[in-house]
Structure 1
Amino acid sequence: MKRKINYYLLIMPLLALFASCSRDAFDEYYGRPDYLEDPIYQQLDTRGNFKNFTALIEKAGYKDILSKSGYWTMFAPNDAAFTKYFQEKGISDVSKIDDATASKIVKYALVYNAFRKDQLSDYQSSKGWVADNAFRRRTAFYDGYVTRDVNGVPTVTVAANRNGAWFAGDNNNKYVTYFTDEYFAAKNLSATDFNFFYPSGQYTGFNLFDSKVVQTDIVAENGIIHEVDKVNLPLLNIEQYLEEDSKKAVSKYSEFRKLIENNLIIYGLSQTATTNYYNYTGKSDNVYVRFYDPTLAFSPNNENYVKLEDNDGQADAYTLFAPENNAFIDFRDKILLKHYSSVAALPRYVIQDLVNAHMVQGAVWPSLKENYINGLKEELRFDFNTDITDKQVLSNGFFYGTNKVQKSDLFYSVYTSAYLDPDFLLATRLLNETPENYKGMVSDISQKFTLFLPSDAVLKSLGISYDFDKSAWVYSTKTDPRNKLLRLLYNCIVLTPNGELDNIGTTSGIIRTGDDEIPGEYIRWNNNKIYAAGNDEDGTYVNIVKKEVQQNGTVYYIDNLPKYAEKLQGLAIEKLAPNSTSQFYSFVQYLKNSSIYTAATGKIEGVELGSSYTFIVPNNAAIAKAITDGVLPSNPATTVQGEKDLIADFIRYHIIVKTVSNDGLSIGQFETLRKNSKGDKTYVGVSSTPGSSSVPGTLTFKDVSPVTNNNAAAKIIVASSNNLADRSLIQLVDNYLKYTEF
């Protein structure tokens, strides 16, 4: 019988031989190249001067991660750095560092992505690298879940990682800050900025915080190593710094922090965070996101920047100026609570504004403080040489402790009198709501204003209130009340750069409301009383009952409103000529009988309510001269069409489309209502000079005609001029104006 051959025994050695050859070829092709540097852990281990740090890497469970492929930057503290650390902490060696601390040190030294020294100053924008525009990088460390007392209940919380939102979609990783020559040169910074934060530090051109980078660009397979001479634990963020300060026996900023904590912190249940917490810990507690009022410039617990781009935290950070307790208490008691019983009674917007006044959505470098504005869009009003008592580079920005409160416009201007008084909530709401930014106007402490301020009681007595259910203003039965109220309010705002109304109780005069950018209507004052056109119309006036002086002017408290006129201007002109003894009489006769006037309503053709005009009225003698000169017919009621046309053109030429007075505010050539024979506009020249308390200003009108004529300028008769009408003034002059076309 033939012996059977086991072919498997023959084939298997051949297969093994072939497999061995194939594996060798595979390893040769796909194996790790010999020229690659060792990974980060092996690099540190081989070098021999990172024994303490590699021990912490192992203790933190990062040996495997840092021995594999990856893309990291490691700011590695050398053994000399640990020797100093042991001395500072009073421990003997690395074995005395617990696992949690080991993890903090390693993770905070570990930066996402690999960066050589010359790359760290560049910002990884979504549109490409921006050279020399970065001074921070995101690390692998984050705080995670914190149990806090919320309304007496222990609550698991996470910090918001966006501003004013419940968002907790990433881990809110902390950043490290470094200082490089490239960045400093690009931003016009110097060692002075570094030493402002670290007075005893030495700026070398590449520092991680106050530590020196003693060797750069150690290339590893899975990243870059920079050797540093200090052990850095994760820095606190701005919220944490304030919180740690509040735990001290003698706190510096607890009053300012209390203002924020009691009024501007919100907790929102996050199902995503709750699920993540359960998956991470196995615990079923609800997790709440702790975030800040969305009106604030930033959330002090947000480790990210604004996240308009994923990496914008590389290029910028936040800044908080925190007033010390003594400064804050003094401001609180003297300014904030002048009319309120407690901080809890303040309107929320006051607290929001006060905190925003101390926030900057940017990293404020000491030498460049003039380049920044706070959350209220004001310049910073701190002297960095005398007002800054504490300066810190923190994980999400800069912190400056101050011995004063930011001198915000809102708390030292005429606006303040309404803003910080519960008796003036309606006026404050009106100022705040104006699209023209009346609030910004009267709170600008670089300009001087007078504010006439009606209380809520006064406004309500006039039928003015606010319907919170409908979010709408109510003003008796008037339609579109908000715009009417804003017009009334603007009659109460007067730019007074030279204190023109400081002696309102003993003087009289006329003044334009508003400011130079948006001129308002004219009002008159006389011995603690003010009048607008509407008051003249209905025979009322406004009493000034008391005053308050602020940094940018004076507030006069009033018992009525300076009203605008609701009747047509023609009626106001007629009212000035009750009989033939009036110097307005002759002009009014021509107006009343002219073809462009409707006597029943006071309507002058071409003149509209709500528009600005100056009515130039020649006195009786000037009208007589115009008749003698053949400019006007002798009969105001003529039926001759040609003469009627002369009268109409004469009146139109004496109405200019601009309100002018003898205050020096308006000079030049201004359009009249008259058109020439070709339908083109005609103009009158205006010259005005301001007066003083003893000498009135001047105002003259001069013909502007294609053909020069010798007609003298018309000068106002001050005692009978500056009469009010709807957005208009009626001026009595000593001559007539003559338009000569040919």
Structure 2
Amino acid sequence: MSKNLPRILTVCLTIIVLLSSCRKKEFDEFYGRPETLADPIYQQLQVKGNFSKFLECVDKAGYKETLSAAGSWTVFAPTDEAFAIYLKDNNLSEINADLASAIVRYSMTYDGEKIERLSDNLTARGFVKNAGFRRRTVYYDFVYDGTDNNGKPIKVIAANRNGSYLPTDFNNKNLPYFLAPFMSFTGIGAVDYNYFYPSSEFTGKNVGPARITQEDIVAENGVIHIIDRVLTPPQSIDQYIGAKSQYSAFKSLLDKYVTYNLNADISRRYQVLTGKTDNVYAKNYSALLGFSPNNENYLKDDANDAQIGMYTLFAPTDAAVEAYAKVLLKYYAKSRLQPGDYKAQLSELYALRPDIIRDFVNSHFYRTAVWPGKFNSVNSFLGEVTKLNPGNVVDKQFLSNGLFYGVNEAQNANSFATVYGKVNLDPTFYIMKQAMDVLGYTIPIKTASLKYVIVPIPDATLVSLGFSYDPFFPSAPIRGDLTILRRLLQTHIIPLGDRAVPNFATGSGILEASNGEYIKYDKGFIFSAGTQDLAAASDKTIKIDSIVNAVNGADVYATRVLAYTSLPVSKHIERYALTTTDPYYSFFQYLKNNVTLYNATSGAIQGITDGSFYSIFIPTNTAIQAAVTAGLLPKLANGSPNYTPTDASDISKVSKFIQYHIIKNSVASDGQKTGSFETLLKDESGDAAKVTVTTNTTNSLILRDVTNTSVNVLLGAADRSNVLSNRTVIHQINSYLKYQF
């Protein structure tokens, strides 16, 4: 046994070695690096031999190991020729470690992508074709030296969200590229590209100002694209505007929306990295702004939405802000503006009316890329297209988080240029402005494409009527009866549709207010149903003090309020029915004696409901007699009208006749409403009989009844038509309307 033991052990060891060798071979074949696998990014660039300067930067930046190891990167690598151009253009003999780090980190984007994928937006639901033009780079700014709102030196880090800061987000800058699929998808082209990069040739394969000269070099740890220029991280909008003195006035307004908030997480990280004891403050812009100018991210509706979106800022120069300050300060400046004093006055205005400054600033903010060829097709944060054009641009920059246009004019925002703007800016009408905002009347009247006339109501008038504004009640800041206030305000807001502003000074006419009630104007005076109720002749009309035109209409200033009436409609009929020769006499006699329709105590007419709108067409006394003769109304033995019938069928005739002369809509001779309208008269099935308005102009109003007979509204100076009543307009007609049941 002892002599055979060594032989046995030798055989066993040989078998074990053979088995181990087989296992290792199988392991290497399965897990080993395939011979066909491309080298990593660093090694490939090293072999190519034309990237020594870029690789020097990689070494200085400490990214050699990263680009030599596993991972997934897209690297835009500049050639040595590109570095030679860069060094010459920037008067540099070498590149220090900080600059090297910026160049390398800005050239690296996350996820290795071939060029065919770069135009696709990677979302949580997959790729969206052709929508992308940016990728998140490795580069981000960290803590920098700044000052707080009081000018005290502090350590600052930029916000990475709109209105806030998130410590887990590095606020990486994004690299833009301009590839043919995206350009075609977006409808932009070489002109848009060269607007920002005039010295670069557009090829449809551009990265910032560079061209991709060789694409899709696949590496073990990503993809390389060769470019002909060195790229460095652009400034953010916040960084750029802060460094340019020509925008100091606009920046001073932006600064009013900045807060510096101590961030414990970043403070600890900074202290560990630097060994210093300084605290770090996040520079946050208010969420009231369209976006945070220092936020490198986009809206974050999706993790990668910065691939498809960026911001735009139109920044007015100091001269442009000074010129527009005259608009903003018209009602606030203590004295005539002098050169150099506008900044202080705008600051004072911010303290008094922060909403004015907020709207002014936000009118220049766009939450999307406004390409040069699309100036007038993209809405600002306030929902308006810019009123500026490329000719106003004196400075254009493609920055890291947005497009920047320095402009020689300020945006004439709808908040100030429309009929709403006059009420908005003038403190005399502050309660009305706040009430319109709170009650939801603002958006239409400050839309430039919608034409209005506004009759502003002074604060003193509203206070005398029991209304006030109290910001200490944020849920209900308007104090007073809101039902009454709504009706009052709506009467002073008059939509024009496609009509021009009326000639209030020398013309006359009737206008429908936004609530369906009507007002009238006549040679420098305006009036409403409520003013016509007043006893004194001098009070029945209101003198127009002045008229100020706006981009969407006019503001008509008057001495008193356009009151509405609380009287029942019958009282306005009765006003012109007191004697036998009055125009409404015969009609009213039939009405007031009809117990079915008329309540003698209240004056209410059955079927006319509070809050609804009506028109009443009253035949002349001669026409009433014609209806009597035709048998549509009861008559006496001598053929004259029987105003007090006792027979049920005669009473019914009167009811039907009157009901058929009242339609369920307010119609006036303003050229606006035509068509078929229901009357108060209904058949046994409950279907309403109808009257058609066939013609409606400012000097002609024609009706047609169900017998196809036309009737004219009498619009002469002596006739009683377009009479204003309680949500009702009363007209005199030359004949009667005939129904058929």
Same fold (TM over 0.5): yes
Alpha-carbon distance, 1:283 to partner: 4.8
Aligned to 2:561: 561
Q: CA deviation at 1:656?
A: 0.4
The answer (yes or no) to whether the contact 1:39–1:220 under 8 Å persists in 2 is: yes
Q: Is the 8 A contact 1:450 1:501 kept in 2?
A: no
Aligned 1:565-584 pairs, distance under 5 A: 565-584=565-584
Q: What is the rounded CA distance, in whole Å, between the counterparts of 1:557 and 1:115 in structure 2?
A: 64
Find the counterpart in structure 1 of residue 247 from structure 2.
Answer: 253
2:331 is matched with which residue: 335, 339, 342? 339
| SS state at 2:607 partner | coil
Partner of 1:702 in structure 2? 704
**Letter in structure 2 aligned against 1:529:** F
Residues 529 and 725 of structure 2 are in contact (CA less than 8 Å); yes or no, is this contact kept in structure 1? yes
| 1:455 and 2:449 matched | no
**Comparing 227-236 with 144-153, which one deviates more in the overlay?**
144-153
Give 1:450 shift. Answer: 2.2
Looking at structure 2, the residues matched to 107 and 712 of structure 1 have their Cα atoms a distance apart, in angstroms, of: 82
Q: Name the CA distance, whole Å, in 1 between partners of 2:76 and 2:661.
A: 81
How many Å apart are 1:473 and its aligned residue? 5.2
- Alignment of 1:396 with 2:401, yes or no, is yes
Alpha-carbon distance in structure 1 between the residues aligned to 2:249 and 2:76? 37
Aligned to 1:382: 388
How far off its partner does 1:244 sit?
A: 1.6
**Deviation at 1:584?**
1.2
Question: What corresponds to 1:430 in structure 2?
Answer: 435
Alignment match, 2:638:
none
Distance in 1 (CA, whole Å) between partners of 2:180 and 2:684 is 74
CA deviation map 1:97-119 (0-9, x unaligned) = 22211111110011100011111
Q: SS of the residue aligned with 2:442? A: helix
For residues 240-284 of structure 1, the C-alpha deviation after alignment (integer angstroms, 9 at most, x for no partner) is 111121xxxxx32222222211x2223334444344444544555
Q: Which SS does the other structure have where 1:597 is aligned?
A: coil
Q: CA offset at residue 12 of structure 1? A: 13
Output the CA distance in 1 between the equivalents of 2:606 and 2:92.
95
- Please point out which of 315, 333, 352 is paired with 1:322: 315
- Which runs of no fewer than 5 residues in structure 1 stay unpaired? 246-250, 692-696
Q: Output the CA distance in 2 between the equivalents of 1:145 and 1:20.
A: 55
Provide closer, same or farther for how the CA distance between residues 16 and 154 of structure 1 changes in structure 2, counting only shifts above 3 A: farther
1:195-274 matches, cutoff 5 A: 195-245=194-244, 251-261=245-255, 263-274=256-267
Q: Using the alignment, how far apart are the partners of 1:483 and 1:72 within structure 2? A: 64
Deviates more, 1:217-226 or 1:622-631: 622-631
Shift of the alpha carbon at 1:289? 2.4
Distance 2:60 2:501 in 1: 76
Aligned length: 707
1:628 Cα shift?
1.9
Tell which deviates more after alignment, 532-541 or 115-124. Answer: 532-541
Counterpart of 1:336 in structure 2: which amino acid? L
Aligned to 2:590, the other structure's residue is in SS state: helix
Q: Show the counterpart of 1:631.
A: 632
Q: Which amino acid aligns with 1:194?
A: Y
Where does residue 666 of structure 1 map in the other structure?
Answer: 673
Q: Cα distance 1:371–1:447, how it changes in 2: closer, same or farther (>3 A)?
A: closer
Alpha carbons of structure 1 residues 628 and 18: separation in structure 2 relative to 1, 3 Å: closer
Distance 1:86 1:500, change over 3 A: closer
SS in 2 for 1:82: helix
Contact 2:516 2:613 in 1 (8 A): no
Deviation by residue 1:319-378 (Cα, 9 ceiling, x = unmatched)? 11112222221112x211111232121422222222222222111222233431211222
- Superposed displacement of residue 474, structure 1: 5.2
Tell me the residue number matched to 1:99: 97
Aligned residues of 2:702 and 2:710 also touching (Cα < 8 A) = no
C-alpha distance in structure 1 between counterparts of 2:141 and 2:557, whole Å: 53
How far the C-alpha of 1:641 sits from its partner, in A, is 1.2
Q: Distance in 2 between matches of 1:12 and 1:290?
A: 73
Partner of 1:89: 90
Are residue 67 (structure 1) and residue 48 (structure 2) matched?
A: no
Quick one: percent identity of the two aligned structures? 38
Q: Look up the match of 1:679.
A: 686
Pairing 1:521–2:514 present: no
- 1:615-626 equivalences in 2 (<5 Å): 615-626=616-627
- Paired with 1:500 and 1:216, the residues of 2 have a C-alpha distance of 61
Decide whether the 8 Å contact of 2:713 with 2:731 is kept in 1. no
- After superposition, the Cα gap between the structure-2 partners of 1:275 and 1:559, relative to the gap in structure 1 and judged at 3 Å, is farther
Kindly state the Cα deviation for residue 612 of structure 1 after the two structures are TM-superposed: 0.7
The verdict on how the C-alpha distance between 1:225 and 1:429 changes in structure 2, with shifts beyond 3 A counting, is same
Separation (CA, whole Å) in 1 of partners of 2:167 and 2:530: 57
Q: Please, which moves more after superposition, 665-674 or 732-741?
A: 732-741
AA in 1 matched with 2:99 = T
Taking the aligned partners of 1:33 and 1:77, their CA distance within structure 2 comes to 29
Q: Indicate the larger mover: 153-162 or 643-652.
A: 153-162
Kindly tell me: are residues 99 and 608 of structure 1, through their superposed partners in 2, closer, same or farther at Cα, counting changes over 3 Å? same
Do 1:631 and 1:646's aligned partners in 2 also have CA atoms closer than 8 Å? yes
Q: Give how far 1:738 is off.
A: 1.5
- For residues 539-574 of structure 1, give each alpha carbon's deviation from its aligned partner in whole angstroms, at most 9, with x where no partner exists: 455443333233333322233321222232223222
Distance 1:152 1:670 in 2: 69
Name the structure 1 match of 2:337.
Answer: none
Matched, 1:651 2:643: no
TM-score (norm 1): 0.90
Counterpart contact for 2:696–2:702, Cα < 8 Å = no
Corresponding residue SS for 2:602: coil
Return closer, same or farther for 1:28/1:56 CA change in 2, 3 Å cut-off. same
Q: Which residue of 2 aligns with 1:248?
A: none
Alignment partners' CA distance in 2, 1:179 and 1:530: 60
Superposition deviation, residue 728 in structure 1? 0.7
1:364 to 370, 373, 376: 370
> Whole-Å Cα distance in 1 between the matches of residues 186 and 305 of structure 2?
17
- 2 CA distance for matches of 1:489 and 1:372? 32
What amino acid is aligned across from residue 86 of structure 1 in structure 2? L
| 1:435-514 equivalence runs, <5 A | 435=440, 438-471=441-474, 472=476, 481-496=481-496, 498-504=499-505, 506-514=506-514
- One-letter identity of the residue aligned with 2:330: K
Matches within 5 A, 1:168-207: 168-207=167-206
Instruction: Name the SS of the counterpart of 2:260 in structure 1.
Output: strand
Change in Cα spacing, 1:279 to 1:538, as seen in structure 2 (3 Å) is farther
CA contact (8 A) 1:159 1:168 kept: no
Equivalent in 139, 146, 159 of residue 137 of structure 2: 139
Name the SS of the counterpart of 2:724 in structure 1: strand
Cα gap change, 1:703/1:335 in structure 2, threshold over 3 Å: closer, same or farther? same
Contact 1:666 1:687 in 2 (8 A): no
Segments of structure 2 that go 5 or more residues without pairing to the other structure are 334-344, 636-641
| Match among 389, 412, 415 for residue 417 of structure 2 | 412
Cα gap change, 1:558 to 1:50, in 2 (>3 Å): same
Q: Cα RMSD over matched residues?
A: 2.6
Q: Verify the 8 A CA contact 2:619 2:735 in the aligned structure 1.
A: yes
CA separation in 2, counterparts of 1:222 and 1:526?
81
- Aligned partner of 2:155 in structure 1 is 156
The answer to whether the Cα contact below 8 Å between 1:717 and 1:734 also exists between their aligned partners in 2 is no
Letter of the 2:73 counterpart: W
What is the rounded CA distance, in whole Å, between the counterparts of 1:601 and 1:12 in structure 2?
Answer: 122
Q: Distance in 1 between matches of 2:458 and 2:616?
A: 35
C-alpha distance in structure 2 between counterparts of 1:26 and 1:737, whole Å: 102
One-letter code aligned to 2:687: D
Whole-Å separation in 1 of the counterparts to 2:265 and 2:482: 44
With over 3 angstroms needed to count, the CA separation of the structure-2 counterparts of 1:327 and 1:585, relative to structure 1, is same
Residue 713 of structure 1: aligned partner = 711
Structure 2 counterpart of 1:694: none
Deviation at 1:469, TM superposition (A): 2.4
List aligned pairs for 1:592-603, cutoff 5 A.
Answer: 592-594=592-594, 595-603=596-604
